[in-house]
Structure formats: structure tokens, C-alpha cells
Amino acid sequence: MLKIIKVTGNSLSPFFLSGDYVLVSTSRQSFKRLQIGDSVIFSHPEFGRLIKLVRTNNPEIEILEVEGTHSNSISSHKLGPIPYSTLLGKVIFHFKQSGG
């Protein structure tokens, strides 16, 4: 299944900016094949919905570590491990906001 989600915040700037849209695959089967550097969206109990890059993927225990590209972005050092059960999808396409 596919879903379009609006990016808010600057966690992955300058690559993804607030106001951009992403097309995500919500297929649970694809999560085990996530690669380092793939973009994912997940729900965190303290910080809400986040977009981050995969830093590590451990399919045997269904856990990811993630990071952002912005200097002020939080990563798994603060977020902790990200269980597959919290994943909302893998970004498969990026719609950049128009230059205005």
C-alpha cells in the first residue's frame, strides 16, 4: 500500500524540507530489506511522527537505528532503537516543494 505524507520540520534538511511531500510504501515485508541510508517514517511515543535515515537494520529482532542529516536532528542516541512495529513506511519518492 502507498501513502503520501507531508514533511514537517528539518530533520533531513537540506535533502527534505518542511512542506515537501513523500510517497511511502507501508508494506511490512519491505522493512526487513531496508538499507543504510533509506528514509523511513515512524511514530515515536515522545516525539511523534518522524522522518529519519536508516543507520542500521537488524531484521532478526526487527529493530532499526536512525539518524537525521540536520545538525540539530535527534538520532537513535536519544530516540533509542526503533521497532518495526512503529514504522509507518519507507520513502520511495520525494515531491519537493515548489520554489515559490
Can you give the pLDDT of all 100 residues of the chain as single tens digits?
999 999 999 999 999 999 999 999 999 888 889 999 999 999 999 999 999 999 999 999 999 999 999 988 999 989 999 999 999 999 999 999 876 5
Q: Give backbone dihedrals phi and psi of 79, rounded to 5 degrees, phi first.
A: -75, -25
CA distance 72 to 84: 24
What pLDDT is attached to residue 32?
86
Which residue's C-alpha cell is 536519544?
Answer: 78
Closest to 11 in 3D by CA, of 46, 41, 33, 31: 41
Distance CA 84, CA 69 (A): 21
Q: CATH classification of 2-95, choosing from 2.60.40.10, 2.10.109.10, 1.20.1600.10, 3.40.630.10?
A: 2.10.109.10
At 53 the pLDDT is: 97
Q: What is the pLDDT of residue 99?
A: 61
Domain assignments of the chain as residue spans, ordered by start: 2-95
> In terms of pTM, does the model score above 0.75?
yes
Nearest to 63 by CA among 52, 55, 72, 73: 55
